[in-house]
């Protein structure tokens, strides 16, 4: 078995801090702000670093990922298609049966309250799924 290198042993929160600093422009600031809103919405959120460099926020399963591209910061909700989005924040990945995403372009602001409501709804959905899986099966 391969021993983890220094970067692999680094906590996810530090790796996300580094990503934000490396971006050094509006994308880093946007990712920082969205991360802050995620933690405010759910103080029990767990930060992970997956798929060779993607920030992931989880609670009883993945809530969302935070990816940065040249012209957009993309927050993809793993079970977004199952969430009510009355503020219509989801504006990307709308055709799939599972995921939904929010693409944020330079200069755009996301409604903080509506975003945090999506985070809380995703946490509740994951919790209900985890509880259902934990229930003992009835004998037939």
CATH classification of 6-134 is 3.90.1150, yes or no?
yes
Angle at 27 between CA 25 and CA 31, to 5 degrees: 125
pLDDT tens for each residue of 37-66:
999 999 999 999 998 899 999 999 999 999
Q: pLDDT digits over 68-99, tens only? A: 999 999 999 999 999 999 999 999 999 989 99
**CA 21 to CA 13: how far, in whole Å?**
12
What is the domain partition of the chain in residue ranges? 6-134
């Amino acid at each position: 078995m391969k021993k983890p290198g220094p970067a692999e042993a680094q906590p996810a929160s530090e790796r996300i801090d580094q990503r934000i600093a490396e971006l050094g422009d509006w994308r880093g600031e946007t990712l920082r702000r969205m991360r802050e809103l995620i933690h405010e919405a759910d103080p029990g959120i767990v930060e992970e670093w997956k798929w060779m460099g993607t920030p992931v926020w989880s609670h009883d399963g993945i809530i969302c990922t935070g990816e940065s591209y040249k012209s957009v910061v993309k927050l993809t909700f793993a079970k977004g298609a199952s969430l009510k989005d009355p503020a219509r924040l989801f504006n990307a990945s709308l055709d799939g049966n599972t995921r939904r995403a929010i693409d944020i372009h330079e200069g755009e602001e996301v409604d903080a309250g509506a975003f945090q409501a999506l985070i809380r709804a995703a946490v509740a959905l994951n919790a209900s799924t985890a509880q259902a899986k934990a229930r003992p099966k009835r004998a037939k």
